[in-house]
A and B are shown apart, each in its own frame.
Chain A
Amino acid sequence: MTNIDEKMTASAVISATLDEATKTDPNLLVVTCDSRGSAGLVPFTNKHPERTVEMGIAEQNAVTVAAGLAHAGKHPFVFSPAAFLAMRSIEQVKVDVAYSANNVKLIGISGGNSYTWLGTTHHSLNDVAITRAIPDLEVYQPADKYQTKALFKYLVKSDKPAYVRIGKKKLDNIYQEDYEFVPGKANIVKEGKDIALIACGETLYSAYHAAELLKEDGIDAEVVDLQSIKPLDVETIAKLAQSFDQIITVEEHDVINGIGSAVAGIVAQYAHAKLTILGFPDEPAIQGPQDEVLHYYGVDAEGVYKKAKEILGK
């Protein structure tokens, strides 16, 4: 699955990719909310102080100011923990960014359960639900460093508002150096015939490793990287729904209106496939180290593996 290249955090990849983009984009800015350290942007902000707009711990205003900057021709990337950006600032995202078509890129750092023991205030288990419900806002969740780099190269060129959720982990590399990001396109990461596992971002690894475990039991699982939550790859999902009897989605997100719901909306329209949505239940989430919490809710590789076996009756 993985190649031997060095693993990197998404934020390190983003900092380097945006640094590279400054060579061709004189208007690129990063807007931070006392978040340059946690966003891994210090290399960028030290090198480009004139491209750094510090808004202090004021996420609502950061989004609104970024909209003003974008209107004036700048290309701002706003960095803030996903928990704050996708909830505290969401009305600013709706009105000043999406509704007003201002080219602001919203980068939700430390998404999902990444803040571990810091607790619910810092977890973003609803950000996909909220952002994907806003018209004219693209929503992405990259996994490895090549995908993150390709996504950000796309974002630098795109004039559309977008929300991106990233996590904190150094992730294995699934893709190759030459990976090109295509909005609205899901990727078949591993082909299979017995069951389809759909995920994106960090839970793509849960699906992938689960497929490896299933293989040992003679079950051939297909693994699909959704990557583009909005626009959604309706065609690919519809095909999966027609080709497979069983589909599992895996997300580090509340089961309400995350990627499982997005996929369900397509599956229900196009085919007979039964869909199982794995995610955080609609209850106050248990707290603790991320991997243990993901295991508890069955969204790690073992959880996906067990659920697939159970569904297939094997």
Chain B
Amino acid sequence: MNTLELKKKATELRKYTWQLIYEHSNGHTGSDLSCADILVALYYKVMNQTPENVGSPEADTYIQSKGHAVEIWYEVLADLGYISKKDLDDGYSKFNTPFIGHPTTHLKGMEFNTGSLGHGLGLGVGVALAAKMDGLSKHTYVLMGDGEQAEGSIWEAAMAAGNYSLDNLTAIVDHNDLQISGTTDSVMRSNPLDRKYEAFGWEVVEINGNDMDTVVKALSQPNTSGKPKLIIANTVKGKGITVAENRADWHHKIPSQEEYETGIKQLDAQLEALGND
């Protein structure tokens, strides 16, 4: 896919996510919309991973440490055929469903159960360390939130990744500056993340995480530093739908019918502007 196609895909999946959340009255709306471009770049352009090879030694591993943004991930996996879109639409948040509010290994493509924040980076360290031991060329990607950076376990994992020079590990912080109670700076200041991770032995790049071209480039660039790489992806929480953008209360707010319809119109307009036919 080229950049334009990736942009369209991200917009289309934002729309599906918005629909899923509205129809079932459950979901982490702002968080999903924030990281949509990152997931699309990884799944449709960057990662060596397919429904057929996921979990195998040669396939890249994706770990979503910010597990609550699961709806956008469901839509990606459904679109790519890892899981059934119909099953998702029918079963999401229902009794005895695998489609719960956080990722589970019941579903193809989800290699770890996440949702409790601060676990993903350590899991990634384990997978990347095993790949080094086995001489595998696979790469491990971990998506974290910025509010999540307050978890101490992240810094244990960051230290270990630096200690073991895990240049086969890329972590991305979905840096939208908002968490459930307000701005990350007002809740618990984790900034400046670049200097912190650099001090822990990481290569750090900072990008606009909602600009597809930039996201793809940052994720695709070969890592020659000999260090694990952190991409601070500056994003907009709720990206793509005006009412939800940059609003902490949209962390898991469900749109009203009016908001829903307006959101769909906005996303359709974005698709049209991108040349959707």
Contact = CB atoms under 8 A, between A and B. Distances in A.
A286 interface: no
Contact of A73 (B112, B119, B130, B157): B130
Interface string B192-229: 00000000000000000000000000000000000000
Contacts, number: 89
B31 to A, nearest CB: 19
B133 interface: yes
Contact of B130 (A55, A61, A74): A74
B127 A55 contact: no
B129 A68 contact: yes
Nearest to B156: A61
A21 interface: no
Given A64-B153, A67-B123, A68-B127, A58 B113 contact: no
B57 interface: yes
Contact of B122 (A53, A56, A64, A101): A64
A2 interface: no
Contact of A95 (B116, B124, B133): B116
Given A96-B119, A100-B112, A101-B105, A60 B153 contact: yes
Nearest to A54: B163
Interface in B225-248: none
Q: By CB atoms of chain B within 10 A, which of A68, A69, A99 has the most?
A: A68
Contacts of A66: 126
A235 interface: no
B100 interface: no
Given A58-B159, A101-B105, A67 B126 contact: yes
B157 A64 contact: yes
B124 A68 contact: yes
Contact of B119 (A58, A74, A95): A95
B131 A72 contact: yes
Interface string B83-123: 00000000000000000000001000001111110010011
A239 to B, nearest CB: 36
Nearest to A60: B153
A68 B125 contact: yes
B160 interface: yes
The B interface is mostly helix, strand or loop, or mixed, namely: helix
Contact of B111 (A55, A71, A74): A71
A61 B123 contact: no
A161 to B, nearest CB: 13
B127 A72 contact: yes
A70 interface: yes
Contacts of B105: 100-101
Interface string A10-54: 000000000000000000000000000000000000000010010
A74 B123 CA distance: 13
Interface string B34-70: 0000000000000000000000010000000000000
A73 B136 CA distance: 12
A64 B129 contact: no
A100 to B, nearest CB: 5
A90 to B, nearest CB: 12
A61 B160 contact: yes
A228 interface: no
A189 interface: no
A70 B114 CA distance: 16
Interface of A: 50, 53, 55-56, 58, 60-61, 64-74, 91-92, 95-96, 99-101
6 nearest A-B pairs in the assembled complex, by CB-CB distance: A68-B126, A64-B122, A72-B130, A61-B156, A58-B156, A65-B126
18 contacts: A60-B122, A61-B160, A64-B126, A65-B123, A66-B126, A67-B122, A67-B126, A68-B130, A71-B111, A72-B126, A72-B130, A73-B134, A92-B122, A92-B153, A96-B112, A96-B119, A99-B113, A100-B113
Interface of B: 57, 105, 111-116, 119, 122-131, 133-134, 152-153, 156-157, 159-160, 163
Given A68-B129, A92-B122, 16 more contacts: A53-B129, A56-B163, A60-B122, A66-B126, A67-B123, A68-B122, A68-B125, A68-B127, A68-B128, A68-B130, A69-B130, A70-B126, A72-B130, A72-B134, A95-B114, A95-B119
